[in-house]
């Protein structure tokens, strides 16, 4: 592990030659971090910068005033001051000379979920093994965790869960004294960076750990178990953020197994956390994962809303329901979940996935920032976009992490931009993809108006294009799920078609898609009326997700006059051409890039090109074989 | 583990109440085994039976003369005598009174391959964990292995490999002194039963175990390694059968990786075995498992013949090439491999699979005996059936085992019939499925003409029907491979269609299948001219495998006038009805069956019914959605 490598340093790239931190002489942690960073970025301490707590500022807010020789950083609390310190470092790295920065987070909780298993593996991890776990021990590499904490804090992330929501025995023990011995040390590492820990707990912990015969939340002994567990944990880690639970989902136990609604299960754990100030994050990813494909009435996207909306108001005030952005599962194109903002008397968080499970698995370049901006843009009703809810009705933004113990943290160097963008857009959902991508690119590769090399603008363009290029060669028009079962990389158009996961497109010789309007499964009725009508009406339904809501024949005419099948062929050829364009751009930058970074990304782009061609040919062939309609332009479709 | 249970006792069921063997007073092992069996079957020693070696008989042959009160068993060697002892036991169990039995095996080597891993798992195992391995140790349960040896010897199996052909580190160590400490004990258990061991070895053992930098068979150090390894093994187990190798296959290393043909790799190991009398079994399951589905020239079934036929005669005389019965992979319907009998100057064995990888995974009832009889029936040329080669050009019959540490050995009680039938048909390929199934049924359930209950004939009929019932609801007309990738249970019609495994049916709106005639991929040219013409000509190609050789439109007329698509629909409905018939038959036998056996099979039949319905509906739906042609009889197809 070369800690001075381009990949490891991520967006803390030095402008000159790398120097080792001399360190440890400043009183405030924020100032210490600033000077450490300054030495690493510029080779020396920075003179003339002052750091001060100013309680008139919002707690996590900060201001930076002055100029490059005499700057003043003030923070509403130590975290705010730390955020200011990093922001000043980044501003200096970008060559800014005078500062009038006033900033504060729009969203109080900016959370990263790690799907890390006790054996060191990472579910949906594409960046090596866990940074936290090895052989059942958490925190085996504390020095690296400290560098990781710095990365996360520098973009404003302030809570992390350290173990997979699919909790197994090795990580269930985090509720025991033995497990807490390790976790306490991890908390100590993250604490000065303003980052609180969360623990994913298993709903059956009362049985697994407490020796009880049931986990029924109505059983007083179960409540006792949770009370004792919470007390035990908070004694050791008083500032723990709380617990995270995946219940009644994909073979996990939950209140439903005991005949209760979700609130009954959540509240018993929430009440145990309450005296300690802890929050319970309760995931809403609940659906029937043993559906019969012959059943055309059940419609998986309806499940979360049907489960939770009727019990709005029944959750304790320290429960936050964690809702995935879309009703399917982190797909490349979905409408937003109708549950977001719908529960007026229940706290909610919005869950993203930085890990590229369905979006190229960090082999393919993919900018989540662009998709997140689109998600924020989606309407909640006639007057408000989803963005307008964030920081208000939706008080937390959560994401599944894309990090692991690869030298460059994220598998693909370009995927670092997604980790960066998540922190920035969770802090301020009004930031555009372009803005945060430019920030990341200029910090990572240097800024053109200083070094005049055009790298930052070229890389920014690649990233901003990457989401739509990927979508072009993927499943078309919001149809989703045309991937190999389980591993989710590569095209398998019928892969889920006859399986039990509730994800069907029902393509036949003439048409494809599921009618989810009120004439069909009725899914659209879960939206606010304005949005419902928008999606129900073919004239107003956003074309890029038209097959999410409608079943349409292959010769359906899209708005530009093309048939749907021709659009499918066209976009799939264009997707491959887009990747070829990325390769040309990247090769044109070769002389201006560090060898390590050039070679690494070049290799990934080759993998992406293979993947894009595979998608193009399989999808085109699949639709040709079904429809018997050829490409108007006579391009090659494998028959 | 109840060693007196119906499942554990398999085809050694007592006629009366079970007695414990008093044992150990007879000089000959065969007599000991006979009396032990007699006590267990009938509750007492048998008087008046004599056992004698008669060197005028063929070595493994035997004769039984006399009657139930004064019988004489003679054997050409100790194994022959043992086979005679078991045969007499079985005859007594079946109520026979006078004996004029003269028998000898038609095939010298009757081999079982265990695909057992060092960690105790079994590749394609559907009967629990390994009988041989646990935590890297072989032979952890020697008493049970002794019972297993008896089962195998009682049907004439005389060699077994004890570890998976996909050798990993834990079992690679069988070539080391440490590994041999365990294996020696296993050999001691099997030796008196006339069963020799084989070891599956990894082609890279010179690197893994010998510390060499290469496994290149042309390197003298590699030859030295194999010589030393063979000497080490034979010092400890002088009667070892030899080694078994899967090379250059499915990511395994092999001579091809070093630029050599297969003979070069095989001969270097064979020469190491030669001084010790050992045989090298070299598998021919070699094909490109990273094929591009767009490539319509490469045709996987051609691979084994293309690899081995040109090097006929180059293998040393202690090498046997192990050829799977079909060119695909243990499918429910394939033509026989054209390699079988084709290599006039090379020794060959025929490989079956008793494990029901593609044939219901021991959840569904499936009689391999019926399929084996059909395989033996397939023509080699105008004058000889494949059966006529067995015991001559094909001097060994091998099968992948279906056994594990489940109480009943085989997962499904009915699957015991396949283990029984394999031994019997490898001994005598002229036996019919009906004959061996009647044997198994009457030994296991008792014989009707004694107990007059009709169970044996009913169960025999179920088994004899089971192969065709399964085939009816499976992929139609020899198309193969419509299964989920990797686990191979359940229908996924396009599961392998765009994958790298070389198994494509290329179904489109109009037609399905690959033209493998000389106008197509040319696969048929690998057969003897008579067989080639038989398969090329639509009028003579066996209809049940017509889609293995031809691409045909859905409206192609079969010999009975039905369209192909209608035949597909009809057979898929009939398949489910067949399983329903099995359930009715089984329920009708309830009062006549041991509770344990009844309940066990009843439960499996329910699983099979679900599986059959899933196949029926998925396959019918798949073809309806592609072809847009409905069922003439208006039955329900899910659209």
A476 near A486, Cβ under 8 Å? no
Average pLDDT in the B15-37 region?
79
Chains A & B: contacts with CB separation below 8 Å: 68
Name the residue among B485, B499, B625 with its Cβ closest to that of A509.
Answer: B625
Q: Residues A359-367: what's their mean pLDDT?
A: 98
pTM (2 d.p.): 0.94
Whether residue A498 and residue B624 make contact (CB cut-off 8 A), yes or no, is no
Over residues B303-318, the mean pLDDT reads: 98
Predicted confidence (pLDDT) at residue B18 exceeds the cutoff of 90: no
Measured in angstroms, the CA of B347 and the nearest CA of chain A are apart by 41
CB A365 within 8 A of CB A604: yes
Most A CBs within 10 Å, among B296, B481, B494, to test the A interface: B494
Answer whether B509 sits within 8 Å of A506, measured CB to CB.
no
Q: What integer pLDDT is reported at residue B450 of this predicted model?
A: 53
How far does A295 lie from chain B, in Å, by closest CA? 9
pLDDT above 70 as % of chain B:
98
Q: Averaged over A70-81, what is the pLDDT?
A: 96
Asked if B392 is an interface residue toward chain A (Cβ–Cβ < 8 A), one would say no
pLDDT band at B448 (very low <50, low <70, confident <90, very high): low
Distance to chain A for B100, nearest Cα, Å: 57
- The reply to whether A639 touches chain B by the CB within 8 Å rule is yes
Cβ of B494 within 8 Å of Cβ of A491? The answer is no
Average pLDDT value for residue range B131-139: 95
Q: By mean pLDDT, which of A22-26, A124-128, B322-326, B479-483 is the weakest? A: A22-26
| A625:B625 CB<8 A | no
Q: In chain A, which residue's Cα lies nearest the Cα of B483?
A: A495
**Cβ distance of A508 and B625 shorter than 8 Å:** yes
Q: How confident is the model at residue B19 (pLDDT cuts 50, 70, 90)?
A: low
Mean pLDDT score across all residues of chain B: 96
Q: Which of A21-25, A289-293, B465-469 has the lowest mean pLDDT?
A: A21-25
Q: Which residues of B touch A624 (CB under 8 A)?
A: 508
**Residue A90 pLDDT more than 80?**
yes
Percent of chain A with pLDDT over 90: 93
- What is the distance in angstroms between the CA of the first residue and the CA of the last residue of chain A? 47
pLDDT of A18 > 70? The answer is no
Distance in Å, alpha carbon of B551 to nearest chain A alpha carbon: 13
Cα distances (angstroms) measured from residue B131 to each of A498, B125, B134, B419, B485: 36, 11, 8, 15, 27
pLDDT for B312 beyond 80: yes
**Per-residue model confidence (pLDDT) at position B421:** 98
> Which has the higher per-residue pLDDT, A161 or B42?
A161
Query: What per-residue confidence (pLDDT) applies to A43?
Result: 87
Give residue B14's pLDDT.
84
Name the residue in chain B with its Cα closest to that of A505.
Answer: B639
Closest-approach residue (CA) in chain B for A629: B509
- Per-residue pLDDT tens for B595-629? 999 999 999 999 999 999 999 999 999 999 999 99
pLDDT tens profile A508-537 = 999 999 999 999 999 999 999 999 999 999
A635/B contact by beta carbon, under 8 A: no
How far, CA to CA in Å, does A614 sit from each of A41, A489, A491, A581, B293? 42, 11, 7, 17, 10
B365, two tokens = 């009832």
Q: Which residues in chain A touch residue B614, judged by CB atoms under 8 angstroms apart?
A: 498
Where in the sequence numbering do the catalytic residues of B fall?
A: 250, 329, 357
Q: Record the tokens describing residue B512, joined without a space.
A: 């399905």
Looking at every residue in chain A, the average pLDDT score rounds to 96
User: B415 CA to chain A: closest CA distance, Å?
Assistant: 27
Whether pLDDT at A452 is above 60: no
Per-residue pLDDT tens over the stretch A209-254: 999 999 999 999 999 999 999 999 999 999 999 999 999 998 889 9
Which residue do the tokens 């909640």 mark?
A: A380
- Interface list for B 463-492 with A (CB within 8 A): 484-485, 491-492
Does the pLDDT value for residue A450 go beyond 60? Answer: no
The predicted-structure confidence for B430-446, as pLDDT tens digits, reads as follows 999 999 999 999 999 98
Answer yes or no: do A508 and B628 touch at CB < 8 A: yes
Model confidence over A254-280: pLDDT tens digits?
999 999 999 999 999 999 999 999 999
Segment B142-163, tens digit of pLDDT: 999 999 999 999 999 999 999 9
**Selected catalytic residue, list A67, A250, A577, A587:** A250
Yes or no, beta carbons of B626 and A626 under 8 Å apart: yes
pLDDT score at B397: 98
Tell me what pLDDT residue B600 has: 98
Q: What residues contact residue B355 under an 8 Å CB cut-off, 6+ apart?
A: B115, B124, B125, B126, B362, B400, B401, B402
Minimum CA–CA partner of A483 in chain B: B495
- Residue A147 above 80 pLDDT? yes
pLDDT band at residue A23 under the 50/70/90 scheme: low
Tell me whether B508 touches chain A (CB under 8 Å): yes
Whether chain A has a CB inside 8 Å of the CB on B301: the answer is: no
B22 — pLDDT class (breaks 50, 70, 90): low
Confirm whether A508 is a catalytic residue.
no
Q: Indicate the DSSP class of residue A55.
A: T
ipTM comes to 0.90
> What pLDDT shows up at residue B20?
60
Q: What is the pLDDT of residue B16?
A: 62
Residue of B nearest to A511 (CA): B625
Supply the pLDDT for residue B26: 85
Radius of gyration of chain B (CA): 25
Which H/E stretch holds residue B418? helix B416-427
At A1 the pLDDT is: 84
- Specify the pLDDT at position B452: 56
Alpha-carbon dihedral sign for residues B246, B252, B254, B256: positive
Determine the Cα angle at B168 with ends B222 and B351, to 5°: 90
| CA distances in angstroms from B343 to A632, B347, B516, listed in the order given | 51, 8, 22
Active site residue A555: no
Is the pLDDT confidence value at B193 over 90?
A: yes
Torsion sign, CA atoms B250, B254, B256, B257: positive
Would an 8 Å CB–CB cutoff place A553 in contact with chain B?
A: no
Contact A294 B617 (CB under 8 A): yes
Of A80-94, A452-466, B381-395, which range is least confident?
A452-466
pLDDT for res A26: 85
Interval A324-345: pLDDT, tens: 999 999 999 999 999 999 999 9
Read off the pLDDT band of B23 (50, 70, 90): low
**Catalytic entry in A31, A32, A348, A357:** A357
Phi-psi region of B313 (alpha: psi -120 to 50; beta: other; left: phi over 0): left
The 3-class secondary structure across B452-511, one letter per residue, is CCCHHHHHHHHHHHHHHHHHHHCCCCCCCCCECCCCCCCECCCCCCCCCCCCCCCCCCCE
Question: What is the rounded CA–CA span in Å between residue A309 and residue A307?
Answer: 6
Number of other residues whose CB lies within 10 A of the CB of residue B433: 23
Asked if A510 has any chain B CB less than 8 Å from its own CB, the reply is yes
Name the 3-class secondary structure at A575. helix
What SS3 state is found at B347? strand
Interface residue of A498, A515, A622, A627 to substitute, partner B, most B CBs within 10 Å: A498
Q: What is the pLDDT of residues B73-89, one digit of tens each?
A: 999 999 999 999 999 99
Would you say residue B453 has pLDDT above 80? no
Whether B553 contacts chain A with CB within 8 A: no
DSSP-based three-state secondary structure for A317: coil
Testing the interface with A: which of B294, B482, B498 to mutate, by most A Cβ within 10 A?
B498
How remote is the C-alpha of B186 from its chain's centroid? 22
Among the partner-chain residues B294, B618, B626, the one whose CB lies closest to the CB of A498 is B618
In the residue annotation, A357 being an active-site residue is answered as yes
């Amino acid at each position: 592990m070369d800690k001075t490598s381009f990949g490891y340093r991520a967006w803390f790239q030095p402008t000159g030659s790398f120097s080792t931190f001399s360190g440890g002489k400043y009183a405030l942690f924020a100032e210490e971090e600033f000077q450490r960073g300054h030495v690493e970025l510029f080779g020396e301490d920075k003179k003339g910068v002052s750091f001060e707590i100013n309680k008139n500022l919002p707690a996590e807010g900060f201001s930076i005033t002055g100029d490059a020789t005499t700057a003043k950083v003030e923070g509403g609390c130590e975290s705010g001051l730390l955020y200011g310190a990093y922001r000043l470092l980044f501003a200096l790295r970008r060559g800014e000379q005078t500062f009038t920065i006033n900033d504060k987070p729009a969203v109080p909780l900016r959370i990263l979920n790690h799907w890390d298993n006790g054996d060191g593996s990472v579910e949906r991890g594409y960046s090596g093994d866990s940074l936290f776990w090895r052989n059942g021990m958490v925190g085996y590499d504390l020095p690296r965790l400290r560098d990781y904490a710095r990365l996360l804090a520098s973009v404003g992330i302030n809570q992390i869960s350290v173990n997979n929501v699919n909790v197994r025995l090795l990580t269930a023990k985090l509720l025991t004294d033995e497990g807490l011995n390790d976790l306490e040390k991890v908390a100590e590492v993250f604490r000065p960076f303003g980052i609180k820990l969360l623990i994913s707990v298993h709903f059956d912990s009362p049985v697994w750990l407490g020796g009880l015969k049931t986990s029924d939340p109505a059983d007083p002994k179960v409540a006792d178990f949770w009370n004792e567990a919470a007390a035990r944990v908070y004694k050791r880690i008083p500032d723990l953020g709380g617990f995270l639970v995946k219940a009644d989902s994909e073979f996990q136990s939950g209140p439903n197994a005991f005949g209760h609604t979700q609130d009954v299960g959540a509240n018993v754990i929430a009440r145990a956390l309450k005296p300690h100030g802890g929050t319970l994050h309760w995931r809403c990813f609940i659906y029937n994962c043993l559906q019969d494909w012959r059943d055309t009435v059940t419609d998986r996207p309806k499940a979360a809303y049907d489960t939770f909306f009727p019990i709005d108001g029944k959750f304790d005030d320290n429960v936050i329901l964690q809702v995935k952005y879309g009703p399917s599962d982190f797909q490349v194109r979905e409408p937003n979940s109708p549950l977001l903002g719908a529960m007026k008397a229940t706290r909610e968080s919005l869950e993203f996935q930085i890990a590229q499970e369905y979006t190229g698995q960090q082999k393919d370049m993919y900018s989540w920032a662009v998709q997140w901006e689109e998600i924020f843009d989606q309407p909640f009703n006639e007057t408000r976009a989803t963005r307008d809810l964030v920081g208000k009705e939706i008080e937390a933004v959560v994401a599944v992490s894309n990090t692991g113990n690869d030298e460059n943290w994220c598998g693909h160097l370009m995927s670092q931009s997604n980790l960066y963008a998540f922190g920035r857009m969770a802090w301020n959902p009004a930031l555009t993809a372009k803005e945060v991508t430019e920030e990341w690119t200029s910090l990572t590769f240097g800024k053109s108006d200083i070094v005049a090399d055009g790298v930052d603008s070229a890389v920014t363009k690649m990233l901003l294009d990457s989401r739509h290029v990927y979508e072009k060669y993927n499943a078309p028009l919001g149809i989703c799920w045309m991937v190999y079962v389980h591993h989710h990389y590569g095209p398998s158009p019928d892969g889920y078609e006859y399986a039990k996961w509730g994800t069907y497109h029902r393509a036949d010789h003439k048409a494809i898609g599921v009618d989810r309007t009120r004439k069909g499964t009725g899914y659209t009725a879960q939206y606010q009326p304005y949005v419902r009508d928008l999606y129900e009406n073919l004239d107003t339904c956003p074309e890029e997700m038209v097959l999410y809501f409608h079943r349409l024949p292959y010769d359906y005419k899209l708005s530009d006059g093309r048939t749907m099948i021709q659009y499918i062929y066209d976009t799939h050829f264009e997707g491959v051409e887009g990747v070829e364009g990325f390769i040309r751009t990247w090769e044109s930058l070769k002389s201006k890039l560090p060898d390590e970074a050039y070679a690494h990304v070049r290799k990934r782009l080759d993998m992406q090109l293979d993947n894009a061609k595979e998608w193009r040919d399989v999808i085109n062939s699949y639709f040709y074989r079904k429809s018997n309609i050829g490409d108007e332009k006579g391009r090659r479709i494998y028959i």
